[in-house]
């Protein structure tokens, strides 16, 4: 059995990792690390784990990783770069769910995340963990940077159209709606029930830290600069990402033509569902690792519209991390992820 350690196991993404890995037939969660919850049983903090695990949360130290094969880091951005060097030096494989190793250029990290990067030498060695684009590289990686939830929905929406030159690489507009769990488990006034309920709010307009991540992944795919406008919104639901993307068509194409390209592009991707009928809905992906996508054409304005839906805690975080682990260790890609 492959032995797993989770750092940040008491947060929303950490708990989702525990939920998924508990049903995985080839791994065992050997260590669950948390700071404020250290010493408490997992099922004391999350009663849903009653009779599912005997684990207790522990305080993390590098020596605690003896016997661990792979480490998931489910901490806010800015934390993993302080931990990864010592973990890599111990020969462990690492999957970071935060943003510290997604961008290759440290100046972009420092511009958008507003802090100095203290492990720059590991940026070029990291592999961007979007399986539908980088499966081969992920299989050989020691350090995988799990994508952000917004970028996952946006990149999967745009990749086939850009790769096949259906749309222009500039003038792209992406609007995304997110449930409040995307902000993490720490309490704050702006994500309290009273502030969020019965309201919708855009935030970090034009300066969100996921903008360079989306651009970099799409530029690598197309070989040219991709220019886009990204506007995230907070909506009063627990979880989910709903993204609508608009891009200029370069040639006259039918919806059937575009859909066929999307279906072919994701034929080997078990977790992307290209819908033939209807519109994606968050309720249909909650608790799953699926990304539902539909393509539409605005003929009057010659624009492609792509709508996608994911669960931000699963395909946007923990589920995708487990999908990456499966690829890294040669397990079936869907192991633990089909419910």
Of all residues in the chain, what percent carry a pLDDT higher than 90? 92
The per-residue pLDDT for range 265-291, each reduced to its tens digit, is: 999 999 999 999 999 999 999 999 999
pLDDT digits (tens, 9 = 90+) for 25-62: 999 999 999 988 999 999 999 999 999 999 999 999 99
CA angle 260, 244, 218 (to 5 degrees): 70
Selecting among 95, 149, 285, 313, the annotated active-site residue is: 149
Give the 3-state secondary structure of residue 176. strand
What is the DSSP-derived secondary structure letter of residue 317? I
What integer pLDDT is reported at residue 194 of this predicted model?
67
Confidence band for 182, pLDDT divided at 50, 70 and 90: low
Q: Is 273 left (phi over 0), alpha (psi -120 to 50) or beta?
A: beta
- Residue 253 has what pLDDT? 87
**121 has a pLDDT exceeding 80:** yes
The answer to whether 17 and 42 have CB atoms below 8 angstroms apart is no
Mean pLDDT of 85-110: 97
52 contacts 22 by C-beta, under 8 angstroms: yes
Mean pLDDT of 185-211: 81
- Rounded to the nearest integer, the mean pLDDT of the chain is 95
Average pLDDT for 127-149: 98
Eight-class DSSP state of 153: H
Q: How far apart are CA 17 and CA 74, in angstroms?
A: 9
187 has a pLDDT exceeding 60: no
Determine whether 149 is an active site residue: yes
Contact 77, 98 (CB under 8 A): yes
Longest dimension (CA), the chain: 62
Helix (H, G, I), strand (E, B) or coil at 63: helix
pLDDT of residue 195: 77
CB 48 within 8 A of CB 13: no
């Amino acid at each position: 059995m492959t032995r797993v350690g989770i750092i940040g196991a008491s947060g929303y993404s950490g708990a989702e990792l525990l939920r998924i890995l508990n049903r995985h037939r080839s791994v065992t969660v050997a260590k669950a690390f948390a700071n404020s919850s250290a010493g408490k049983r997992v099922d004391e903090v999350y009663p849903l784990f009653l009779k599912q695990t005997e684990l207790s949360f522990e305080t993390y130290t590098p020596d605690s990783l003896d016997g661990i094969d792979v480490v998931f880091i489910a901490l806010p951005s800015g934390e993993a770069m302080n931990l990864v060097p010592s973990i890599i030096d111990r020969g462990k494989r690492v999957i970071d769910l935060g943003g510290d190793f997604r961008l290759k250029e440290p100046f972009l990290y420092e511009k958008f995340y507003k802090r100095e990067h203290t492990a720059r030498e590991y940026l070029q060695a990291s592999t961007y963990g979007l399986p539908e684009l980088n499966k081969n590289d992920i299989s050989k990686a020691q350090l995988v940077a799990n994508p952000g939830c917004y970028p996952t929905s946006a990149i999967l929406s745009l990749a086939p159209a850009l790769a096949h030159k259906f749309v222009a690489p500039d003038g792209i507009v992406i609007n995304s709606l997110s449930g409040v769990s995307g902000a993490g488990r720490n309490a704050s006034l702006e994500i309290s029930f009273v502030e969020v309920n019965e309201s919708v709010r855009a935030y970090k307009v034009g300066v969100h830290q996921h903008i360079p991540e989306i651009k970099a992944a799409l530029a690598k795919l197309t070989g040219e600069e991709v220019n886009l406008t990204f506007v995230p919104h907070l909506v009063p639901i627990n979880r989910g990402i709903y993204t609508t993307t608009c891009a200029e068509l370069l040639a006259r194409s039918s919806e059937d033509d575009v859909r066929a390209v999307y279906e072919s592009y994701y034929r080997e991707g078990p977790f992307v569902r290209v819908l033939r009928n209807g519109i994606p809905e968050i309720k249909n992906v909650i608790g799953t690792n699926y990304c539902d996508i539909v393509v539409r054409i605005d003929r009057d304005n010659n624009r492609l519209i792509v709508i996608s839906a994911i669960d931000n805690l699963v395909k946007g975080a923990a589920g995708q991390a487990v999908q990456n682990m499966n690829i890294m260790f040669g397990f079936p890609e869907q192991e633990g992820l089909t419910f």
